[in-house]
Amino acid sequence: MKCNECQENLSAIIDGEIAASLIPATLAHAGTCRECQQFLVAMQEGRAQLRAAAPREVPPALVATPDWRMRESRAPLTLSLIEKIRETLNRHLQVPVPLAASIALFCMLVAASATYWWLGSTRSTVQQEPTIVYMLELPPIEVHTTPGQ
């Protein structure tokens, strides 16, 4: 076992986060290697000092509870709508948000296509009416031209 590998295992051993099968070989190497022993001592010292330096209480600025009502009034309408949709999807339908968004987009595309098709068919119906009127007006024109010949 190389020193680097041994030291990485020692780091995991002191955290209790190593596979049991790796412990004997690691300890065997560390027992004979001065460099790894020194690393273990330095690491444990640093660890103890770091833990001792951790803040034990919050500063005065964080003692008071935030004003949640203020946040409520600041929450934009669109955000709350999105949250409500997400909540509904999560709680009742168990549908992931990306899938739901894809389905919603597909539905919107279908609706847009249907609307476009419907408007197109309506427009063509409206355009046919003047043609019928024009044809109805043709016979009087023919009546006026006949005496001139």
Partner 1 sequence: MLEHDKQDSPLDGLRRRDHAAFTCVYQRYRLKIYRYCSGLLSGDARANDAVQETFLKLYNAAPSFNQEAALKTWLYTVARNEVRMVWRRDRHQVVDDMTTIAAEDSAASGLDRQETTFMIWEALGHLIPEHREVLVLREFEEMSYDEIACILHLSLTAVKSRIFKARRALATRLAPMMEERGAP
Length of the chain counted residue by residue:
149
CB of residue 35 to partner 1, shortest distance in Å: 12
Binding of partner 1 at residue 25 (CB under 8 A)?
A: no
Exactly one of 34, 69, 92, 123 binds partner 1 (CB under 8 A); that residue is 69
94: left (phi over 0), alpha (psi -120 to 50) or beta: left
Exactly one of 20, 21, 31, 59 binds partner 1 (CB under 8 A); that residue is 59
Exactly one of 20, 24, 52, 134 binds partner 1 (CB under 8 A); that residue is 52
Binding of partner 1 at residue 13 (CB under 8 A)?
A: no
Nearer to partner 1, 57 or 142 (CB): 57
Choose the stretch contacting partner 1; rule: CB under 8 A; options: 61-69, 104-112, 117-125, 127-135: 61-69
Binding of partner 1 at residue 68 (CB under 8 A)?
A: yes
The span from the CA of 112 to the CA of 108, in Å, is 6
Would you tell me which residues interact with partner 1 (CB under 8 A)? 7-8, 11-12, 15, 17, 39, 42-43, 45-47, 49-55, 57-59, 61-62, 65-66, 68-69, 71-72, 75, 79-80, 83-84, 86-87, 90
